[in-house]
Amino acid sequence: MENTRQTRSGAPPSPLECVFAVVSITILSKAFTVLFLTDIHMGPWLSQDASSSRPVTADTPALLGLYLLVYVVSGLLLLRRFSELPSLVKRHWVLALILVLPFVSALWSQNPGITIGRSIALVGTSLFGVYLALFYTWRQQLLVLTVASMAMAVGSAFIVFLLPNSGLMGPPHLGLWNGAFVHKNSLAIGMALSTIACFFTAVFAPSRSFVYWLGFWLSIVLLVLSLGKTAAIACVVTFTCAAFWCAHRNNWKMAAFAGSAALIVSIGMSSQVWFESPVASSVNELLSIKYTGQSAQGALSGDETLRTVSMEQLASGSGRAQLWSALWPYVMERPVEGHGYGGFWRRATGPAKELERSIRWWPAQAHNGFYDVAIELGLVAAALVIMLYTSLLLRCVYSSFHSEAPMRWLVYTSFLVYLGIVNLAESQLMSPNTLLWVLLVMILVSSKQADQPCSPESVTSH
């Protein structure tokens, strides 16, 4: 049975630290906070791009204060390992370089103040990932992620029941669930990740598996009711890969569980897509919940740009193809240095203002994490990020077959596969205050820690 790896200071994370980790994960997932601490309303979408999980409005002082609190506390906790930080930077020099590039891009950004601010936020977000890597075992990392995810799932269900105008989408996605998030795609990304986390935690903690299996099934239900196609595809691919890995290791029980999870998500999403969302409509009717907010079309009638966007095209993928084609000239306009971190997508002053006129709708992001890095920081930075992600994924895959702790590497590989697929259609790479970037940093730093031999039945502490 695995012994809990302690910090070099001699003590595992305290219960208070674990609470901080769970709350911070929730904050960086943008669950509850963006919904209730900003002026975004999901019915009319007065201040959000209707196709994106990224709000257009500026963060409120309360929300910025929460983010700052996560940065400061993470930094203070890391001071306990201050002597190790120089060697840590040396080992992860590619990550360090990637975090420096946004600051440098302020020299040519059209919005240098925004660039500096977002660069600081990216470093702060990364500090939390480093903290999780240095002070938590991989099982503890998985557990705090699972607890936070389950809290978001339960909270999302309650919001839909108690505040349906906040928890349900308005037109053109009328009746689809967004729960504790501001958009259905955000709920889908969070719940797909929750499904993966709850699955592995239930497998590794059989004494408490009943609770985690409940979280697993609730997360699947919310994922289906959100109709987030990208997150669902990523979830199915992740579980399918895990099933094949388990079969290769002759762990047929776990392979059956993972394969069943992939099949259930596939069936649920297929019924939504092929038959025009009958699952969400039927569930809403059964539970007597209904969105009664203002019509989106009426709210947007004064904005010709947003009124002409084809939501069906964007959802099917053709809209993204149109966007990527229109973005390429802007990438080649500054192929080496980019347009500045966070400077391109400013609607009033950024270069995207011309893009909006050419495609006649406001995207707010490239809908591809790698593409966003290329347009903001240049092709060199994009190549660095791709190299970092690819090398880390290959290392985790290799270690899952050849290390003394294969389950640890299977968990990391699963999260990386999910993260990579999501970023093919959403922009979550090098994005401040996003959980998927935290996961990438956490796995990267954790991957250099020593293997911990374990039994699949051992239970995490805390």
Q: CA torsion, points 396, 401, 404, 409, in degrees to nearest 10?
A: 30
Contact 301, 178 (CB under 8 A): no
Summarised one tens digit per residue, pLDDT across range 326-347 is 889 889 999 999 999 988 887 6
Nearest to 148 by CA among 31, 34, 261: 31
Give me the count of residues in the chain.
462
Q: CA torsion, points 27, 32, 36, 37, in degrees to nearest 10?
A: 0
Mean pLDDT of 368-382: 93
Summarised one tens digit per residue, pLDDT across range 15-37 is 999 999 999 999 999 999 888 88
Amino acid at site 6? Q
Percent of the chain with pLDDT over 70: 82
The beta strands (E) that lie in 39-191 are given as none
For residue 297, is pLDDT > 70?
Answer: no
Contact 462, 143 (CB under 8 A): yes
Which residue do the tokens 């977002």 mark? Answer: 118
Tokens coding 35 = 């919904």
Give the whole-angstrom CA distance, residue 427 versus residue 357: 22
Amino acid at site 377? L
250: alpha, beta or left? (left if phi > 0; alpha if psi -120 to 50): left
Contact 447, 395 (CB under 8 A): yes
- What radius of gyration do the chain's Cα atoms show? 21
What one-character DSSP code corresponds to residue 433? T
Give the whole-angstrom CA distance, residue 375 versus residue 92: 24
| Per-residue CA distances from 421 to 176, 236, 307 (Å) | 22, 11, 30
Q: CA torsion, points 106, 111, 114, 116, in degrees to nearest 10?
A: 10
Tokens coding 87 = 């060697």
For residue 351, is pLDDT > 70?
Answer: yes
Give the whole-angstrom CA distance, residue 311 versus residue 297: 12
Nearest to 354 by CA among 333, 370, 378: 333
Q: Report the range of poorest mean pLDDT among 26-30, 112-116, 350-354.
A: 350-354
- Taking the alpha carbons at both ends of the chain, their separation in whole angstroms is 16
Query: What is the Cα 208 distance to its own chain's centre?
Result: 26
Summarised one tens digit per residue, pLDDT across range 395-432 is 999 999 988 889 999 999 999 999 999 999 888 899 99
How many Cβ atoms are within 10 Å of 282's Cβ, its own excluded?
Answer: 11
For residue 8, is pLDDT > 50?
Answer: no
**Partners of 55 in the β-ladder:** 48
User: In this predicted structure, what is the pLDDT of residue 388?
Assistant: 96
User: In this predicted structure, what is the pLDDT of residue 348?
Assistant: 62
Query: pLDDT class for 218, splitting at 50, 70, 90?
Result: very high
Long-range residue pairs from 377-381, CB within 8 A, at least 24 positions apart, any chain: 377/101, 377/102, 377/105, 377/337, 377/338, 377/341, 377/430, 378/334, 378/335, 378/336, 378/337, 378/338, 379/331, 379/335, 379/336, 380/336, 381/98, 381/101, 381/338
**Partners of 434 in the β-ladder:** none
| Per-residue CA distances from 382 to 109, 230, 304, 439 (Å) | 17, 21, 34, 19
| Per-residue CA distances from 367 to 106, 310, 313, 322, 373 (Å) | 23, 15, 13, 11, 11
Query: pLDDT class for 212, splitting at 50, 70, 90?
Result: very high
**Following DSSP, what letter does each residue of 71-86 receive, concatenated?**
HHHHHHHHGGGGGGHH
Query: pLDDT class for 449, splitting at 50, 70, 90?
Result: confident
Percent of the chain with pLDDT over 90: 54
